[in-house]
Amino acid sequence: MKIIYVLLIVVMGVTTNLYAENVKEQFAVDSGVAQQESVARLLDRSLQSVDDSVGVLAKPLDVLFQPISIWDENITFQLSGQYRYRLELRDDFNFNDARFEDDDIHLMRTRLNGKLQIGPYLKIFAQAQDAESFAGRQAHKSRAFVNRLDLRQLYGEVISPWEDIPVSVKVGRQELSYGDQRFVGAFNWSNVARVFDAVKVTVTPVSWFNFDIFLSQVVQVNRSQPDSSNHNDNFYGIYSTLKPFQEHLIDTFLFIRHNQNRGIVGEVPGRLGQLKEYTFGNRFKGKKWNFDYGLEWALQLGSRAHDEINAWALHVEAGYTFKDCPWSPRLSFEYNHGSGDSDPTDGKNENFDNLFPTNHMHYGYMDFASLRNIENIKLAFDLKPHKKIKLTTAYHWFFLDTTNSAWFNAGQGVIRPRSPGASNTIGQELDLTLKWNMNEHLNLFVGYSHFNAGAFIKDTGASDNANFFYVQSTINF
C-alpha cells in the first residue's frame, strides 16, 4: 500500500513540476514557446498512437454493434454495452488501525443494451446488468456491491409527431437524473447503480424552456429474486429548466416523497407513522468570460411519523479558468450545507433528507459525507495537459451542522451516532484524480484520497487516518 501511495505522490509531483515549467515557457522568449509547442505535439502524437492502437482493436466491435434494419430502414435494432473494472484499496475506513478492516476489492460490471427504434417517434430500450465483487470482507460482497444478472432498464419512449404538442412520454424502468444530481441521480459510481420504475412526461414548448413531470418508485436490489421497486416508497416530481441567456440556466423543482410504511419511527417515544415530504428549490448555473458559478438551494417540509419536517440545504460554487495559461488551469471554491437535527426529542425533524443523489462526485471520493447534517468547504484545482486528460486536486473540510445529530455517510447511513458536547470538526480529505478519455471506447480513471481524522472522530472513538486508492477502466461498445 505504502509503495502505491509514494508512487502516486511522485507522479503528482512530476506533474506539478511539468506544469510549472510550462508556465515559465509560456512567458519565455520565442525559442521557449517553440519548445513548449514541441512538447505539446509530442504528447499529442503519443496519445494519438494509443488511440490508434485501441481503435484497431475496437473495429470489430464497431462492425458488430452497427444498427440492423428490420423490415425497412425505418425500423432498426442496435446492440451496445459496457464493461467496467475497478480495483479499490481501502485502508482504515473504520478509523481503527487496531481492527483489521483493510480490503482489496475487485469490482466488475457488465451491461448489455438493446434498442429498437420504430420510426422517429417510438423507441424501446432494454439493459441487462451483471455486477460482481471479489473481496476479502463479506461486507464488500453485499447487495451494495453485487447484483448478479438482472434486468436494469426496460422502457418505451414515445415522442409526439405534432409540433404543436411538443411532448415525449417514457414509461418503464429507467434512470432519473436532474441537475448536478445533488438530490436525484443514477449513482453510476456504484457497482449496482440506481434506477426507478417510472412514468416521465417531458414537455418542451420552446427551445429555451422545458419541464419534466414524473411518478416513480425506486428499484431495490434483490440478490435471490429479480429486482423490484419498493411499492411503499413513492417519489413524484416536477423539474423545469429555463435558459434565459446563452450559457446560463435556472432550474426550478418540487420533489414529493410519500413512504406509506406506517412503521417509521418518530422522535416521540412510541410514535409511528408515514413519511410525507416536500422538497422544493432552485438551481442557478452559468459562466461568463473566464468565470463560472453555481447556486442550489432547497427547503424541505412535511411530516415524518407525525413529526414536523423543517430542513434545508445549500450549495454555492465559484470558479475561474485561466484560459490563456498552459493546460487551462481552473481554480474553484464550494460551500455545501445540509441541515441537522438540533434536538432529537422536540418532535421537529431538521435532518435534511438527501433523497436519491449521486453524492460521490460532490463531497469527497471516500464517501464519508452526504448533504445531511454537514458543512463542507471545498477547494479544487484542475489541469488539462491534453484535451483527453484531466488532473484534479481537491481538498475538503468537513464539519457537523450539529453534534446533536449523527454523522452520515454518502448513502445517509450513520458513521458515528450523535455526541452532544463533542467537537463538530469531522476532518479533512484530499482527493487526487486523473481522468483519461482515450477514445469513444476506452477511458481510465485513477485516484488517491487521504482522510485526516478531526476532533469529532477523536472525541467519539478510534481516530486513525484513512486512505483510498483506486484504478478504474471502462470499455464502451
Residue 12 has pLDDT above 80, yes or no: no
pLDDT for residue 4: 41
- Supply the pLDDT for residue 57: 63
Rounded Cα distance between 85 and 418, Å, is 37
**Segment 140-151 mean pLDDT:** 89
Amino acid, res. 384:
K
CATH T-level assignment (fold) for domain 66-476: Porin (2.40.160)
- pLDDT, tens digit (0-9, with 9 covering 90-100), for 155-164: 999 999 998 9
pTM, full prediction = 0.88
Per-residue pLDDT at 65: 79
Longest dimension (CA), the chain: 79
Predicted confidence at residue 232, as pLDDT, reads: 93
C-alpha cell at 263: 412503521
Of 67-71, 248-252, 345-349, 389-393, the least confident:
67-71
With contact defined as beta carbons under 8 Å apart, do 281 and 298 qualify?
A: yes
Predicted local distance difference test score (pLDDT) of residue 270? 84
Instruction: Give the pLDDT confidence score for residue 20 in this predicted structure.
Output: 45
What confidence category does residue 58 fall into, taking pLDDT thresholds of 50, 70 and 90?
A: low
Average pLDDT taken over every residue of the chain: 89
Domain positions in the chain: 66-476
Mean local confidence (pLDDT), 173-192 = 97
pLDDT, position 99? 81
Between 99 and 34, residue with greater pLDDT: 99
How do residues 17-34 score in pLDDT, each as one tens digit? 444 444 444 444 344 445
Question: What's the mean pLDDT in 316-345?
Answer: 96
pLDDT at 43: 67
Please give the Cα distance from 45 to 233 (Å, whole number).
Answer: 53
What integer pLDDT is reported at residue 69 of this predicted model?
87
Q: Which residues pair with 379 in a beta bridge?
A: 333, 395
**For residue 45, pLDDT beyond 80:** no
Q: What mean pLDDT is predicted for residues 126-141?
A: 88
Share of the chain above pLDDT 70, in %: 87
pLDDT digits (tens, 9 = 90+) for 398-427: 999 999 999 999 999 999 999 999 999 999
66 versus 115: the higher-pLDDT residue is: 115
